A and B are shown apart, each in its own frame.
Chain A
Amino acid sequence: MRKDPVRGQLDLLLLAILSDGPAHGYAVIQELHERSNGAFDLHEGTVYPALHKLETEGLLSSKWSTAGGRKRRIYALSQKGRTALQLQAREWSGFVSAMRKVLEA
């Protein structure tokens, strides 16, 4: 799959994955690979700026933890993030079903 469509929806994908519980960046990326069967090919590094941005928007919160002697930033969905996820997921479903109706007509 091309990268651009993923980038446009990266925020939504990250919120969706974090709705299952707090996780660090690498775990989020692994989960993204797994759920999409590797279809979403993205520069993994750009996930971190996206996480930072979602945090500055108040949709995520984050804190340090330690793993294997390394510092690790754990992200969690905020209430505001949960609301945003529901809203965006609904919009996306509407878009997809409208696309499908047109394409399959």
Chain B
Amino acid sequence: MESSSIVRYLDDLRKALGITPGFSPRIVLEIQDHLISSAETHVQNGVPEELAIELAIEEIGSPRTIAEAILLTYSDESSGESTPIPLESRAITRRTSMIALNVVGIGWSAKPYDKMQRSDLETNLTFKPSPQDLDLRVIIEGFEGNPFVLMSDETGDRKLPIFIGVAEAIAIALSLQGINTNRPMTHDLIARLLSSLDDLQIERVVITRLEDKTFYAQLELEHSGEAVTVDCRPSDGIAVAIRLGVPIFAEEALEGVFIAA
């Protein structure tokens, strides 16, 4: 049982969650399964199909209610906007389970974020981790719209696209394809800084949360045996991580925003 009312409801839910139309992360799939199961139950109890769907939608509550609750669940409640979190406790608490990420490539979406379809993920994937001739003009002039970095979990089943800036897209694409520029670019400099200090070690980059349509990340460092975390944009973190061969993770709590296979 699939109805236009259910489709519309799920679209509203995606909008309230701030995710791209057509994407179906876990919460969307669960709500879809729920609505169909619930409507089917009503039909079995003798309710006409049209009404059954309406009832199911009414009983589940508004998309906004669900979205607010789910975003609250996955936002990092322990971190205030500007207050630094005690590093020690953070380092310990975040050793739970995280999702290891591979960078699949840099893609380009000519459509605005909210018009992007799931299929755009693969078809617009331009720069993959393989050496080939890279013409920077292709990145700067050859595409319309916005670049995104596409990541996947270890199995490749779950995907996580994050829209990023053009400069960061170039930085990631260069590194993915093993291209060295004559002079160190900004992310090369950051990577060199991190690797040139003896008592400083970069452990990993972690995508920590999604808040108000913005992904947050942090560099996790060890300085003279002490854990240090540095707030960063995911794109900067990824650009640095792939230069240094440092693993990239997403908090397990972000699982709900991944796109399932």
Chain B 203-242, CB-CB to A under 8 Å as 1, else 0, gives 0000000000000000000000000000000000000000
B111 to chain A: which residues have CB within 8 Å?
none
Interface range, B side: 20 to 34
Evaluate contact between B33 and A53: CB separation under 8 angstroms: no
Evaluate contact between B73 and A49: CB separation under 8 angstroms: yes
Chain A 58-80, CB-CB to B under 8 Å as 1, else 0, gives 10000010011011110000000
Taking a contact as CB atoms closer than 8 A, the residue among A26, A44, A52 that contacts B27 in the complex is A52
Asked if B134 is an interface residue, CB under 8 A from chain A, the answer is no
Evaluate contact between A67 and B33: CB separation under 8 angstroms: yes
Bound form: Cα–Cα A50–B256 in Å: 13
Taking a contact as CB atoms closer than 8 A, the residue among A46, A48, A56 that contacts B30 in the complex is A48
CB within 8 Å of A: which B35-70 residues: 36-38, 41, 59-63, 65-66, 69-70
Asked if B34 is an interface residue, CB under 8 A from chain A, the answer is yes
Distance from A38 Cβ to chain B, minimum over Cβ atoms (Å): 11
Taking a contact as CB atoms closer than 8 A, the residue among A30, A45, A56 that contacts B31 in the complex is A45
Distance from B85 Cβ to chain A, minimum over Cβ atoms (Å): 17
Asked if B29 is an interface residue, CB under 8 A from chain A, the answer is yes
Bound form: Cα–Cα A45–B12 in Å: 14
Bound form: Cα–Cα A58–B253 in Å: 11
The chain A residue sitting closest to B34, CB to CB, is A26
The A interface is mostly helix, strand or loop, or mixed, namely helix
Bound form: Cα–Cα A52–B26 in Å: 10
Asked if B153 is an interface residue, CB under 8 A from chain A, the answer is no
Evaluate contact between A73 and B66: CB separation under 8 angstroms: no
CB within 8 Å of B: which A1-47 residues: 24-26, 29-30, 43-46
The chain B residue sitting closest to A50, CB to CB, is B69
B36 to chain A: which residues have CB within 8 Å?
68, 70
Taking a contact as CB atoms closer than 8 A, the residue among B33, B66, B96, B252 that contacts A70 in the complex is B33
Taking a contact as CB atoms closer than 8 A, the residue among A29, A49, A70, A73 that contacts B70 in the complex is A49
Evaluate contact between B33 and A56: CB separation under 8 angstroms: no
**With A44-B61, A46-B65, A49-B66 known to touch, is A70 a contact of B32 (CB < 8 Å)?**
yes
Evaluate contact between A64 and B30: CB separation under 8 angstroms: no
Evaluate contact between B69 and A25: CB separation under 8 angstroms: no
Distance from A83 Cβ to chain B, minimum over Cβ atoms (Å): 17
Bound form: Cα–Cα A68–B37 in Å: 10
Bound form: Cα–Cα A48–B65 in Å: 11
Taking a contact as CB atoms closer than 8 A, the residue among B33, B65, B74, B252 that contacts A45 in the complex is B65
A50 to chain B: which residues have CB within 8 Å?
69
**With A26-B33, A44-B59, A45-B61 known to touch, is A52 a contact of B96 (CB < 8 Å)?**
no
The chain A residue sitting closest to B56, CB to CB, is A44
Evaluate contact between B256 and A52: CB separation under 8 angstroms: yes
A43 to chain B: which residues have CB within 8 Å?
59-62, 65-66
Bound form: Cα–Cα A48–B94 in Å: 23
The chain B residue sitting closest to A33, CB to CB, is B59
Distance from B185 Cβ to chain A, minimum over Cβ atoms (Å): 37
**With A45-B65, A45-B66, A53-B73 known to touch, is A71 a contact of B60 (CB < 8 Å)?**
no
Q: Which 3 pairs across A and B sit closest by C-beta, in order of nearness?
A: A43-B61, A49-B69, A45-B66
